[in-house]
Amino acid sequence: MSREKVLSLLLEQGDSYVSGEAMSQTLGISRAAVWKAIEALRQEGYVVQSAPKRGYRLEQSPDRVREGELTGPLAGCYVGRRLLCLDTVDSTNTEAKRQALAGAEEGLVVISEEQTGGRGRLGRTFQSPKGVGLYLTALLRPKLRPEEVVDFTAWVAVAVCDGIEAACGVRPRIKWTNDIILNGKKLCGILTEMGLESESNALEYLIPGIGINVNHRPEDFGEEIRSMATSLAQELGHPVRRSQVAVCLVQALDRMYRSFPENKEAYLAKYRADCITPGNQVQLITPVSREEAFALEIDDQFRLVVEYPDGRRAALSAGEVSVRGMYGYV
């Protein structure tokens, strides 16, 4: 853990040097422990310059999403006040559930370099190759009834768009209800799950999981999704630092959670502005049927209002149906 604290301190200094003695006093560890942490970071690919009587300066960092990279920028955030950064995990959502059942407080954010069993809605898999994506789940415990959080994924979608825009200068769009789209291809998926107390049916925890394709190359996607998936690096034309995306995303989630559910009008307006599904012919897929309809609008409950060929209209909730585009991914 001392290497994460040393890394965080080096990052805070920017281009300035910090002495081993100063780090020792600030962190409450020995100078020998500081030196060991510096050497361990160098072994991991961090370029740390040292100069007599001046100390250490971080000159170059590998693309890693780890506690030492995030703690400084996230100071003061409620969501992200505790971080669990893993090398590999079955699913960040599953790990967040384990943490919730073990009594972890809300605000925990679980991040992994890789998921071996990433999941999407309706039992779908989410491909999560190592070292190229951002796979993140927040553990929340809002004091609300289950029916009061049914539109939470829509709020998360807006926060994801906010975070990506802050990190990369480009704002993606939303395919109702939980897919984030950039230039007509899927960039990110969101899976929100909740836990209920068995006797009272009260909301015990709420865990939004987010998977963003950051530095994926076309060959990092399976053949079955390659034509419909993209990454930030592909669309921007250059690699993107995942830790910066993680910081901006968690900050956006923190702002959103502080606003939920009181600031509904603002998030509903942003969701409507970002959502590309209205105005398109769509397929509505359930476990037992597949129907065509025309998507009209997003109503005040974040539901998708559609019109069927016979003129009937319906307001659909996210849990009822999966929406596919008739032409192209949207």
The helix/strand/coil state of 150 is coil
Q: What CATH number corresponds to the domain at position 218?
A: 3.30.930.10
**Same-domain status, 196 and 302:** no
179 in Cβ contact with 233 (< 8 Å): no
Report whether pLDDT(100) > 80.
Answer: yes
Query: Are 184 and 316 in the same domain?
Result: no
Q: Is the pLDDT of residue 121 over 70?
A: no
Task: Please check whether residues 124 and 46 belong to one and the same domain.
Answer: no
- Sorted by sequence, the CB contacts under 8 Å of residue 292 that are 6+ apart come out as 281, 282, 283, 284, 308, 309, 326
Compare 124 and 111 and report the one with higher pLDDT. Answer: 111
Same domain, residue pair 23 and 83 = no
- Shared-domain flag, residues 148 and 188: yes
Total number of domains in the chain: 3
145 found inside a domain: yes
Domain edge (last residue) among 257, 274, 291: 274
- Residue 286's domain comprises 281-325
- Summarize the confidence of residues 227-248 as an average pLDDT: 96
pLDDT at residue 145 is higher than 60:
yes
**What is the predicted pLDDT for the residue at 202?**
94
Which range is least confidently modeled, 51-65, 117-131, 135-149, 274-288? 117-131
Q: What percent of the chain has pLDDT over 70?
A: 95
In a domain, 192, yes or no: yes
Q: Residue 48 belongs to a domain with what CATH number?
A: 1.10.10.10
The strand pairing partners of 206, in sequence order, are 140, 194
> What percent of the chain shows pLDDT beyond 90?
83
pLDDT 10s digits, 297-313: 999 999 999 999 999 99
Whether the pLDDT of residue 51 is over 90: the answer is yes
226, part of any domain: yes
Of the three residues 274, 296, 315, the one that is the final residue of a domain is: 274
In tens, the pLDDT along 4-34 reads 999 999 999 999 999 999 999 999 999 999 9
Question: Do residues 266 and 259 lie in contact, with contact meaning Cβ atoms separated by under 8 Å?
Answer: yes
**Residue 278: closest CA among 315, 245, 305:** 305
Query: For residue 309, how many C-alpha atoms fall within 13 Å in the half-sphere facing its CB?
Result: 5
Residue 123's pLDDT band (cuts 50, 70, 90): low
Out of 274, 298, 313, a domain closes at 274
Distance between CA atoms of 64 and 1, rounded to whole angstroms? 16
- Whether 46 and 81 map to the same domain: the answer is no
The answer as to whether 146 is a domain residue is yes
Q: Domain check: are 178 and 242 in the same one?
A: yes
48 to 23, 36, 43, 130, 296: CA distances (angstroms): 14, 13, 10, 25, 56
| Domain membership flag for residue 155 | yes
Based on the fold, state whether residues 85 and 218 are members of the same structural domain. Answer: yes
Per-residue pLDDT tens digits for 148-202: 999 999 999 999 999 999 999 999 999 998 899 999 999 999 999 999 998 888 9
Least confident of 221-225, 256-260, 278-282, 306-310: 221-225
Residues 134 and 92 in one domain: yes
Q: Are residues 169 and 186 in the same domain?
A: yes
pLDDT of the residue at 226: 86
Mean per-residue pLDDT of the chain: 92
Same domain membership, residue 115 and residue 256: yes
β-pairing, 281-285 vs 322-325, is antiparallel
Task: Examine residue 330 and state whether it is found in any structural domain, yes or no.
Answer: no
Phi-psi region of 311 (alpha: psi -120 to 50; beta: other; left: phi over 0): left
Q: What is the pLDDT of residue 330?
A: 55
| Residue with the larger pLDDT of the pair 158 and 321 | 158
What local confidence, expressed as pLDDT, does residue 126 receive?
64
In this structure, are residues 136 and 109 in contact, taking their beta carbons and an 8 Å threshold? yes
Supply the CATH number for residue 297's domain: 2.30.30.100
Residues 72 and 25 placed together within one structural domain of the fold = no
